[in-house]
Amino acid sequence: MIEWAIIGGGIHGCTAATFLIKSGKTSIDRLRIIDLYDKPMARWRRNTKRIGMEYLRSPVVHHIDVHPLSLQKYSDSAKSRDLYGYYKRPQLDFFNDHSENVLYEINIQKAWKQGKVVSVKRNERWVLTLESGEQIMAENIIVAISVNEQPMIPEWAHKRAFHIFDEQIPDFKKLKPPVVIVGGGITAAHTAVAVSQLFPGKTTLLKRHPFRVHFFDSDPGWLGPKNQTGFRKIEDYQQRREVIKAARHKGSITQELFYKLARFQKRNELQIISGEPIKMNETTITMKDHSNIQAKTVILATGFKSSLPSQPWLQKLILNENLQCAHCGYPIVNESLEWCPHLFVMGPLAELEIGPIARNISGARQAAERIVANL
Ligand SMILES: Cc1cc2nc3c(=O)[nH]c(=O)nc-3n(C[C@H](O)[C@H](O)[C@H](O)COP(=O)(O)OP(=O)(O)OC[C@H]3O[C@@H](n4cnc5c(N)ncnc54)[C@H](O)[C@@H]3O)c2cc1C
């Protein structure tokens, strides 16, 4: 029997582990982190590397360690120039090094369990069953799975395109040009930059809306009491969902990426087209206005479905434990992010309590803080 089981070892699950251990609320031998991958934050590393992201969008104070200045101090000690711009956004490799260092400090490997959770039941304590049949008993659970395995695939592209965050995709160097990247947000922009460097003049970025330029994916007021206080006073969860939708700058890009794309476009290395695709075949995308775009490869950078993660065990758990969900399907939890006694959530699952930042690194920090503060 262990004290804590964390389902999901991405940024969120790892932040929770760090806060639990460093606050002394548990010890590493009384904790398990169960994850599909063999290493912490594997999906984060894969996705960010794949799109060639050089710097994080978020500032230096957003990381997985407890002390807000931990990453800043790490930078000072490395005497490096790994922080970018006014908001000191960390370079990806540097952020990953720091995370690895923090996880090494808490000896995370001791708690790591590779496997897929397929059932969670309560039997005096929680019983987690893995796909292998192995069972883990825990006093408390944190569900830290994301929506990052629910890619959004538009109907017109169903069979002939791949999603940038599919488990396996070909090496960009081996793509067949012309290449079309579909999407108007930051992932599409990074991908377009990476691909047009390989196939200048044979890369198109196809988007449905004008570029939405914002520093962050929601207003910084959402990081603290300025916006959070009012949000928490909203009793109607449907209204909270509407506020979250309106606050998130979905499909937005940073100013520096906007200018980068413009430079590539000016040099005719990248074509940028706005419009509504309706169908595609092996060589062509047909648009609603009947124009055509040549495409031998189509990469979708269309984000993720926003619905509640559709893992069957989660649906069963909701039914068995009669867990409260809002109209949008997402959990209604208390201030400590507890869904029912000894069952906590983070990330998108905590969105109706944490607000628009819930999916981000800042949301992971605030969720971990809240869980730990009330133990
Ligand atoms: C390209 C990209 C760039 C981003 N940049 C930033 C940024 O700069 N700043 C910022 O704040 N946010 C950023 N984000 C948003 C967010 O911080 C990341 O998506 C982050 O990785 C989310 O972490 P997570 O732990 O919720 O999800 P994930 O990394 O998806 O981790 C969830 C884990 O749960 C595991 N899991 C799922 N189901 C099961 C199961 N049944 N059993 C066992 N394990 C399971 C998975 O294996 C996975 O490892 C970015 C997102 C993307 C995609």
Ligand 1 pocket check for 130: Cβ under 6 Å? no
What is the average pLDDT value for the chain, to the nearest integer? 95
| pTM listed for this prediction | 0.96
Ligand 1 pocket check for 361: Cβ under 6 Å? yes
149 vs 102 pLDDT, higher one: 102
User: Is 139:125 a contact under the CB 8 Å cutoff?
Assistant: yes
Query: Confidence band (pLDDT; 50, 70, 90) for 81?
Result: low
pLDDT in tens, 227-280: 999 999 999 999 999 999 999 999 999 999 999 999 999 999 999 999 999 999
- What's domain 161-214+249-300's superfamily in CATH? FAD/NAD(P)-binding domain (3.50.50.60)
Domains 4-148+306-374 and 161-214+249-300 share a fold: yes
Q: How far is the CA of 11 from the centre of ligand 1 (A)?
A: 6
Ligand 1 pocket check for 163: Cβ under 6 Å? no
- pLDDT for res 117: 98
What percent of the chain stands above pLDDT 90?
Answer: 90
The tokens 């599909």 sit on which residue?
A: 36
Ligand 1 pocket check for 8: Cβ under 6 Å? yes
Q: How far is the CA of 147 from the centre of ligand 1 (A)?
A: 8
Ligand 1 pocket check for 368: Cβ under 6 Å? no
Average pLDDT on 288-314 reads 93
Mutate which of 35, 142, 313 for ligand 1? The one with the most ligand atoms within 8 Å of its CB, which is 35
pLDDT in tens, 131-143: 999 999 999 999 9
Ranges of each domain in the chain? 4-148+306-374, 161-214+249-300
Quick one: three-class SS letters along the chain? CEEEEEECCCHHHHHHHHHHHHCCCCCHHHEEEEECCCCCCHHHHHHHHHCCCCECCCCCCCCCCCCCCHHHHHHHHHCCCCEECCCCEEEHHHHHHHHHHHHHHCCHHHCEEECCEEEEEEECEEEEEECCCCEEEEEEEEECCCCCCCECCCHHHCCCCEECCCCCCCCHHHCCCCEEEECCCHHHHHHHHHHHHHCCCCEEEEECCCCEECCCCCCHHHHCHHHHHHHHHCCCHHHHHHHHHHHCCCCEECHHHHHHHHHHHHCCCEEEEECCEEEECCCEEEECCCCEEECCEEEECCCECCCCCCCHHHHHHHHHHCCCECCCCCECCCCCCEEECCEEECHHHHHHHHCCCCCCHHHHHHHHHHHHHCC
4-148+306-374: CATH topology: FAD/NAD(P)-binding domain (3.50.50)
Which residue owns the Cα nearest ligand 1 atom 12? 360
Ligand 1 pocket check for 20: Cβ under 6 Å? no
Ligand 1 pocket check for 13: Cβ under 6 Å? yes
Average pLDDT on 318-342 reads 97
Instruction: Give yes or no for residue 207 having a pLDDT over 70.
Output: yes
Partners of residue 265 on adjacent β-strands: none
Query: Confidence band (pLDDT; 50, 70, 90) for 213?
Result: very high
- pLDDT for res 79: 59
